[in-house]
Amino acid sequence: MSLNSARGQLRLLSRSACRFNSTVSTTASKTTDSPETSNVNVEGNQEQQQEEATLEASTGIATSRAPTLDAYNQPLDGPLEQIAQMSERQFNEILNSVPDPTLNRDEIVSERFQKLLNLYGNKDKLKRQFTSTSSLLSRFPNLLPSDSLSPYTKAELTIRQRHHQQIMGDLGSKIVNVYQPHKLITNPPSINQLTAEKLMASGAHLGRSTELFNQNFQPFVYGKYKGLHIIDLDKTISYLKSACKVIQQVAENGGIILFLGLKVGQLRSIKEAAKNCNGYYVARKWIPGTITNALENPKPRHEVDMQDLETHRELSSDESNQTIKPDLIVILNPELAAVAIKEASQARIPTIGITDTNVDPNLVTYPIPANSSSNRTTNLITGVLGKSAQLGLNRRLQKVSEYKATLGMEPNEVFSEENLASKEN
């Protein structure tokens, strides 16, 4: 700062001092106008002087008021006198030590004040809203709140979590149509509900490498993509519907259905499908000679009726030695079950197989062109076949129950020669 600017500041300070002195003189003149106030001041001054004289006489020490000192321990006479005695360096230090005001400070303060004013004006409305809808504290009148300096209790934390769940629980995305692997097994779609979209989502359209292509699979190929053959899903649905009709008729006529899945991850699907149609399943390994050499390892046998209830009839020697074979075999991986397919063809047992692009579809009786290397695809197709077989089983049980009703038999009563003879008589 230059001397000229300093002198300008001195002029402003002198004017302020003059105004201050005029204000003080005006106040003094006002106080002198009231006689009661002046008398009180005079009496107070006289009492103070008497106390100082008594203290001086008792102690022998003169009592005098200590003068007011400035920052340099000099008597403080007045602001103008102090500034007049300062050097230019001292004056600049004092001016530069004062902090500059914040940018837009007045606007920020007014904005904050406006927000506080709005909140204060709406406090009754907010309080009513909190107590009526949002708050859970009104439901717990016996709750003892903790101190403001203490942590929340378990009850308070539970209430706060419930309140947060009530307010924020509906926020976020709603996830729908999520793939759940167990649903394909426990609740598979029916053949009428199956679409090309579901098959594509399971990867049924993906074939094997073009180098492993079987020429007999050419009618089911849709095209090529990045070294893979793409299977036509329209033909997959068409052939799957034919297979579902076959397995439904076999179950409705009381035939034995066998599910064969030799890969890891297919056990649960074939087990559930066999359970739905009262069939059987073989997992992980096919023992050679299971069909063609069954008499070498005989098993205990019994007779059942059309409701799959045991008749308790004694079997003859010929019936005990008779070969029991399945009426239909569902093969999930024909490329891994060549022995089973050969035995089924020798025993003239029809087969249903999921054939991939590297498998000859003529090996099985009813081929289903699809990706047999994907467990998701095989689980989906097995679930659809199992549901069709369950539909045929339910139709058979319904027909048997209606036939028993015409004979006057109980629904769970077993067919036997004695019961039929008694009913005819």
- The domain spanning residue 227 has which CATH number? 3.40.50.10490
Report the predicted TM-score, pTM, of the whole model to 2 decimal places: 0.59
Q: Which residue has the higher pLDDT, 389 or 36?
A: 389
- Pairwise pLDDT comparison (377 vs 24), residue with the higher score: 377
In a domain, 391, yes or no: yes
Residue 228 lies in a domain: yes
Say which residues have a Cβ less than 8 Å from residue 410's Cβ, sequence separation at least 6.
Answer: 404
- 136-182 pLDDT, tens digit per residue, is 456 776 777 777 778 888 888 888 888 788 788 778 777 777 888 88
> Do both 279 and 352 map to the same domain?
yes
pLDDT score of 412:
76
Residues 360 and 304 in one domain: yes
Same domain, 274 and 310: yes
Pairing of strands 328-331, 280-283: unpaired
Determine, yes or no, domain membership for 227. Answer: yes
Residues 267 and 355 both lie in one domain:
yes
For residues 271 and 132, state if they share a domain.
no
Same domain, 131 and 218: no
Q: How confident is the model at residue 28 (pLDDT cuts 50, 70, 90)?
A: very low
Q: Are residues 345 and 402 in the same domain?
A: yes
Whether 320 and 395 share a structural domain: yes
Instruction: For 70-90, write each residue's pLDDT tens digit.
Output: 455 555 555 555 555 666 676
pLDDT band per the 50, 70, 90 thresholds, residue 62: very low
The whole-number pLDDT of residue 326 equals 93
Residue 129 scores a pLDDT above 50: no
Nearest CA among 277, 278, 280, 275 for reference residue 260? 280
Q: Are residues 130 and 277 in the same domain?
A: no
Same domain, residue pair 145 and 286: no
pLDDT exceeds cutoff 70 at 308: yes
Structural domain range at position 162: 113-168
Mean pLDDT check: name the lowest of 54-63, 226-235, 316-325: 54-63
* 206, part of any domain: yes
- Same-domain status, 218 and 129: no
- What's the pLDDT at 98? 47
**pLDDT score recorded for residue 312:** 80
The verdict on residue 421 lying in a domain is no
Are residues 133 and 246 part of one domain?
no
Please state the domain count of the chain: 2
Evaluate whether residue 366 is within a structural domain.
yes
Q: What is the pLDDT of residue 274?
A: 94
Between 52 and 225, where is the model more confident? 225
Q: Is residue 259 part of a domain?
A: yes
Quote the percentage of the chain above a pLDDT of 90.
40
